[in-house]
Chains A and B, each alone.
Chain A
Amino acid sequence: MRASILLHRYLLTQALLLCLITPPALAQDTQQRPAPPRTTVAGYMDLHFNKAEFEDGRIDFHRFVLLFSHSFTDRIRFVGELELEHALVEGLEEAGELELEQAYIDFLLTRGFNVRAGMMLMPIGIINERHEPPSYYGVERPFVDTFIVPSTWFEVGAGIHGEVGGGWRYRAFLTAPMNAAEFSADEGIREGRQKGANANLGRLAATGRVEYVGYPGLTIGASAWTGHSGFEFRPLFDVPVSLVEADARYSRGRVDLRGQFAQTWLGNVGRLNDILALRIGVNPNLGRSMRGFYTEAGYWILSGGDFGDVGTFVRYENFDTQFKMPDGYVGLPAFDRDAWVIGANYWPHPDIAVKVDYSILRSQSSVIEAPNSFNLGLGWWF
């Protein structure tokens, strides 16, 4: 009898101990089985109010974005991103744009080697692949990620990506090139994106990124893009374009830090300026190099409270779309700009951001003033 009770006690103790180290949430059965096909939808929205100096305020439903993902199998996946900008499409970009920013198939072969084909984001810079409104400070994206790295930069192509261990990742894509006929002095290469719209594929462009994500909260990356962009001209002449970029982000606890540097080089720019002057009647005065960088520091003054989180930030940017000029050309000081942006984000929920900032934009020109602006934003992810 006593032995029986002791046995019972022993078994009970063992069972309780086993249950304690195996709480119900951890007790999920793991059976080997292929995942059934499934489709998911997500998206983000971005509503802005901008009040530039000397102008009336404007409110703009800047972005309405839907993302789709469909897993055919565990190893074959479709991802799509459709974006409506400025709420209305009338055929001109100033009124609005409907853009297919992503539509690719991923063939997930191994951890270190995967193949992607379709419409893809260029793996360059912090914002281009990571632009969900709650994930960054500031109502508008950084100037450098607009004028030097033309975010959102997407193009049709194919390539490979993977993680090789130790926190190192890579991506390498071949895509359609940029169109040099659309370059401009104030916006750099931005308007040269073909966006997969019946894109010229005479000579492929190449882009790639190497990234380290092995330390908690830290991301360090370097990217490059190179292509030949003179395909639209007759007689044909070459306009080689290269861009290099490096960036770093660190987020831990209440602190967010990030920085980015990017520089672009154009070849045969003197001749490109001459030919564009004949086409459009005005010499575009393109620079042979464009450069920009920014640093940003953020600090969460409220974190983990019942009513959400609040973070403040300050960002300094410096960018010049005529950093180096071709022989015989002089750059305009108005395009040598820098900016201080200071503001705050309030996250009532991790997927909703209410943003406010003030942007002090300056140029080297004593004639043309760059306007400061007050900005309010509401962005959310679902």
Chain B
Amino acid sequence: MVVLMRYMLGSITLALVVSAILVAPPVWPGKAAAAQEVQIVDIVAERFRFTPSEIRVKAGTRLAIRLRSEDTIHGFHLVGTDVDLDIPSRGGEAAVMFRPEAGRYTFECSRLCGAGHSYMRGVIIATD
């Protein structure tokens, strides 16, 4: 019985650790401090803007981006990456995790949301 419990406990622990490693890839020691931080960023989408449209963070910071719409369905696409999700219409929320290395990351609305859809863009600026 004890052996079985130890086996189960070990399996669960192993599964959790593996999944934790998968969703949180390792970072180099120099960036460890920044990597351990999780910064929550709230972005509001509405025709035809993101607020805020400019987000400055320290490179390696784990960004929890929470997205909310004031009107219709919008999209959140991080240009150059496969991050592309719908922001539900008013009343719903979406979220995505992103850990930028140093650089500029443009995000844009990926759901055609009206005549001024093309103006819905923003940028995440990550600096060392």
Binding site for B on A (CB under 8 A): 8, 11-12, 14-16, 18-19, 21-23, 25-35, 40-42, 67-69, 74, 77, 79, 81, 101-102, 106, 108, 111, 116, 121, 129-132, 134-135, 161, 163, 165-167, 169, 213-217, 219, 251, 304, 309, 349-351, 381
A33 and B115 contacting across the interface, CB-CB below 8 Å: no
Known: A40-B112, A67-B115. 12 other contacts (CB 8 A): A22-B20, A22-B38, A28-B97, A41-B112, A42-B114, A79-B112, A121-B115, A130-B114, A132-B114, A163-B121, A167-B53, A351-B89
Binding site for A on B (CB under 8 A): 9-10, 12-13, 16-17, 19-20, 23-24, 38, 44, 46-49, 51-54, 62, 64, 69-73, 77-85, 89-91, 94-99, 104, 106, 111-119, 121-123
Main secondary structure of the interface of A (DSSP, over half): mixed
A216 and B51 contacting across the interface, CB-CB below 8 Å: yes
22 contacts between A and B (CB under 8 A): A8-B10, A14-B20, A15-B16, A18-B23, A19-B16, A19-B19, A28-B97, A30-B81, A30-B83, A40-B111, A67-B117, A79-B112, A102-B115, A129-B48, A130-B47, A130-B115, A134-B72, A167-B54, A219-B49, A251-B46, A350-B89, A351-B73
Which of B19, B79, B111, B118 has a CB less than 8 Å from the CB of A79?
A: B118
Residue ID in chain B nearest A219 by CB atoms: B49
B38 and A69 contacting across the interface, CB-CB below 8 Å: no
Residue with the greatest number of chain A CB neighbours at <10 A, chosen from B73, B104, B112: B112
CB distance from B86 to the nearest CB of A (A): 12
A18 and B24 contacting across the interface, CB-CB below 8 Å: yes
Main secondary structure of the interface of B (DSSP, over half): mixed
A304 and B91 contacting across the interface, CB-CB below 8 Å: yes
CB distance from A196 to the nearest CB of B (A): 16
A129 and B17 contacting across the interface, CB-CB below 8 Å: no
User: Which of chain B's residues have a CB closer than 8 A to the CB of A79?
Assistant: 112, 117-118
CB distance from B126 to the nearest CB of A (A): 12
User: Which of chain B's residues have a CB closer than 8 A to the CB of A11?
Assistant: 13, 16-17
User: Which of chain A's residues have a CB closer than 8 A to the CB of B85?
Assistant: 28
B98 and A15 contacting across the interface, CB-CB below 8 Å: no
